[in-house]
Amino acid sequence: MKLATLCYVQKDDKTLMLFRNKKENDYHEGKWNGLGGKFELSESPEECAVREVEEESGLKVIDMKMKGFITFPMFDGKDDWYVFLFVVTEFEGELKDSPEGTLKWIPNNELTNLNLWEGDKIFIPWLFEEKFFSAKFNYENGKFVDYSVEFY
């Protein structure tokens, strides 16, 4: 089981996205993602989110909100992934080159046009709603199968 965060930094009707094109053997290579990654020992979801945003972008989080939780059973063929999703609305600092890929501010109305995982095209619009969600996205061999969701 892997615990992780996925963070969507937003400003001026744009979201900071990461095009995964720099890491060796990257399961996400060629896809656009939010910022985030695996928990380190003893971290809370919030601590992981803040650390990952700074490591991947150079930005320091001032304010964020947890918007959802997603279960990805056997996502990479090895582990179940449990991912806490955040929207970052206040931050400071300057963007740096990311070790993970190329960072770009994408207009919010164009996000689902990117080369995303199929499930991301479904849940990204939920980030702009007031409700909290808990979802399960099933993939087999890297291919989207189905999902279920509860809104709170």
Q: Please classify residue 64 by burial: count the beta carbons closer than 10 Å to its beta carbon, then call 0-12 exposed, 13-18 middle and 19+ buried.
A: buried
Contact by Cβ (8 Å): 83, 4: yes
Residues 70-105: tens digit of each pLDDT:
999 998 888 999 999 999 999 999 999 998 899 999
Residue 84's contacts (CB-CB under 8 Å, 6 or more residues apart) are 3, 4, 5, 6, 45, 48, 49, 66, 68, 69
Distance CA 133, CA 151 (A): 4
| Spans of all domains in the chain | 2-151
In tens, the pLDDT along 9-57 reads 999 999 999 998 887 777 778 899 999 999 999 999 999 999 999 999 9
Q: What is the pLDDT of residues 115-150, one digit of tens each?
A: 999 999 999 999 999 999 999 999 998 899 999 999
Domain 2-151 annotated CATH 3.50.30.50: no
